[in-house]
């Protein structure tokens, strides 16, 4: 989807009614949620995504768009919050994966990132779009999150039905993917490539000019193109997952319902959402265990598909989802990761749709993976998880998604954790600190104070106190709640990560006004720290 969204006119589908929704996969146990996003690179087996130990992983993520637009970087960097605070909040809410849309324009050597608040995000000023992406990936990894890169469009000007244009040929598309794969080789935070966003039909049958599936025309067959790009990526980064979206109409053309010729009519779905031919014509990759199909699914706020007003709605939804993509999971053919789905929730029909869709994915670690569209509030016909202030949460949406979210390790509440008795001194030991000045400018600076619990027991809840140089005041902070009195700064543990285990560390990043200087007199739960 574009950030303003597109008006999509899918044609009426022949829908088989179903009597109820069936959850895909077994109901997860509480212990499964503790697995977060697993360890190391991921691979697939049947309909599951596994980590390098063989543990099942479920990606429950969010889209943060902007890098595909004229800004060429994440939207919301203009707000009163730091980019780190955005990621902190995503992890706190339970999103363990970040899908990042981009255009090839953002990868050009002379690409400029715009729309950045130099007061709240001074560390991003002057950085290229890729350098900003590097920082986001680095911090997301610290949170235990995973990142999926999504080639959203060839240029920032708009979505295209095919994966190439006259100005951005297939060779550029593939070479840009290889460059990204090489750039992040060895970084297990980045787990894969969503090859091209929402290939779809163009032209009227029989004169189709859009993306088809299984038609055999190398200029239009999205399945064959996905194989070419996927295998090129795996040639330089064999550990990545390859995410392949569907098309809208398998023929690649729109039906002419007025010509009286039913042979030219077919069943179409959402842009990127029709994988009905993938069982017959599967994507074949050179490295086994790397393919994940990634359908898109939307509600009436994007387009009022005929099934939303069918007499048997919402009981008809199961058959629709089964037909377009769910069969791949139910028949153990391949894993699914819904790359986009969303709604404004303005219509009560949409609330029912979202509740039924989430139930269809199943609960726990064995459910279908997903990345919700979107974090951004400025998505025209879906809105976001955040409200327009880029701070408060749309609780109506979050409450529906919450039962299906598996927080990243250290990013949210662990349902298997039993609260321990708070410790006043961190156990029979103490703590040690390390200070890193990340950036400084006239009148301010940014840095990170890392505090390691060297005690023999957990500090739960933890509290760090330190002294700043005279005249320095904290402007913003992350990974804890910052308060300041005079030169004394107190950082208390966030509710989603209250315990600092024996040997564990927390990185307290902040920006401050005033002359830079290392924090001093650091204590962890009143126990003095050494440097």
Q: What is the DSSP letter of 37?
A: T
Q: Which residues pair with 99 in a beta bridge?
A: 63, 148
- DSSP secondary-structure letter at 135? H
Alpha helices, DSSP H, located in 144-205: 170-183
Q: Which one-letter DSSP state was computed for residue 280? A: T
DSSP string over 391-406: SSB-HHHHHHHGGG--
> How far is residue 309 from each of residues 17, 306, 326, 357, 358, measured CA to CA in Å?
13, 6, 21, 17, 20
198 in catalytic set: yes
Q: C-alpha 388: how far from its chain's center?
A: 20
- Is there a contact between 20 and 14 (Cβ–Cβ < 8 Å)? no
CB 86 within 8 A of CB 66: no
- C-alpha–C-alpha distance, residues 396 and 407, integer Å: 19
Calculate the CA dihedral of residues 284, 286, 288, 294 and round it to 10 degrees: -50
Q: Which of 68, 170, 198, 227 is catalytic?
A: 198
CA-to-CA distance for 358 and 368, rounded, in angstroms? 9
Which residue(s) pair with 448 in the sheet?
436, 509
Query: Please, which residues have CB within 8 angstroms of residue 477's CB and are 6 or more apart in sequence?
Result: 491, 508, 509, 510, 511
Using CA atoms, how far apart are residues 44 and 334, in angstroms rounded to an integer? 8
How far apart CA 419 and CA 311 sit, in angstroms, is: 49
68, 202, 245, 340: the catalytic one is: 340
For residues 381 and 187, give the distance between their C-alpha atoms in angstroms, rounded to a whole number. 35
Active site residues: 198, 340
């Amino acid at each position: 989807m574009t950030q303003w969204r597109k008006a999509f006119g899918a044609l009426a589908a022949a829908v088989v009614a179903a009597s109820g929704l069936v959850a895909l996969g077994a109901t997860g146990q509480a212990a499964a949620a503790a697995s977060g996003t697993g360890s190391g690179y991921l691979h697939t087996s049947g309909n599951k995504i596994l980590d390098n130990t063989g543990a099942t992983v479920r990606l429950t993520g969010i889209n943060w768009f902007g890098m595909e637009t004229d800004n060429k970087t994440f939207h919301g960097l203009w707000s009163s919050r730091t980019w780190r605070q955005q990621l902190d909040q995503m992890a706190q809410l339970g999103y363990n994966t970040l899908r990042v849309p981009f255009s090839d324009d953002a990868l050009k050597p002379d690409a400029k990132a715009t729309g950045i608040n130099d007061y709240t995000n001074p560390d991003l000023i002057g950085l290229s779009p890729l350098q900003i992406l590097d920082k986001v990936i680095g911090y997301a990894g610290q949170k235990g999150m995973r990142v999926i890169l999504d080639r959203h469009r060839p240029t920032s000007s708009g979505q295209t039905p095919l994966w190439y244009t006259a100005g951005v040929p297939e060779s550029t598309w593939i070479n840009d993917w290889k460059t990204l794969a090489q750039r992040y080789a060895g970084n297990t935070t980045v787990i894969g490539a969503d090859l091209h966003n929402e290939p779809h039909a163009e032209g009227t049958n029989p004169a189709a000019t859009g993306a088809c599936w299984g038609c055999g025309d190398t200029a239009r067959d999205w399945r064959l193109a996905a194989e070419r790009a996927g295998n090129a990526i795996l040639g330089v980064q064999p550990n990545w997952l390859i995410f392949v979206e569907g098309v809208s109409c398998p023929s690649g053309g729109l039906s002419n319902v007025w010509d009286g010729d039913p042979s030219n009519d077919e069943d179409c779905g959402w842009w990127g959402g029709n994988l009905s031919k993938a069982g017959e014509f599967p994507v074949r990759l050179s490295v086994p265990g790397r393919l994940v199909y990634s359908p898109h699914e939307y509600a009436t706020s994007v387009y009022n598909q005929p099934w939303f007003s069918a007499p048997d709605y919402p009981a008809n939804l199961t058959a629709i989802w089964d037909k377009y993509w769910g069969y791949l999971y139910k028949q153990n053919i391949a894993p699914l990761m819904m790359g986009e789905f969303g709604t404004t929730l303005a219509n009560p029909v949409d609330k029912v749709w979202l509740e039924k869709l989430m139930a269809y994915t199943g609960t726990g670690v064995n459910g279908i993976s997903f990345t919700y569209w979107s974090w951004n509030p400025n998505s025209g016909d879906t809105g976001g998880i955040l409200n327009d202030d880029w701070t408060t949460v749309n609780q109506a949406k979050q409450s529906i998604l919450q039962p299906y979210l598996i927080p990243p390790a250290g990013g949210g509440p662990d349902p298997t954790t039993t609260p321990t008795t708070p410790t006043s001194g961190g156990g029979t030991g103490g703590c040690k600190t390390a200070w890193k000045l990340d950036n400084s400018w006239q009148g301010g600076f940014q840095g990170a104070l890392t505090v390691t619990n060297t005690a023999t027991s957990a500090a739960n809840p933890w509290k760090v106190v330190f002294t700043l140089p005279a005249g320095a005041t904290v402007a913003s902070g992350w990974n804890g709640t910052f308060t300041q009195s005079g030169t004394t700064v107190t950082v208390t543990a966030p509710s989603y990560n209250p315990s600092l285990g024996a040997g564990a560390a927390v990185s307290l990043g902040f920006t401050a006004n005033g002359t830079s200087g290392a924090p001093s007199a650091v204590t962890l739960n009143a126990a003095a720290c050494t440097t």
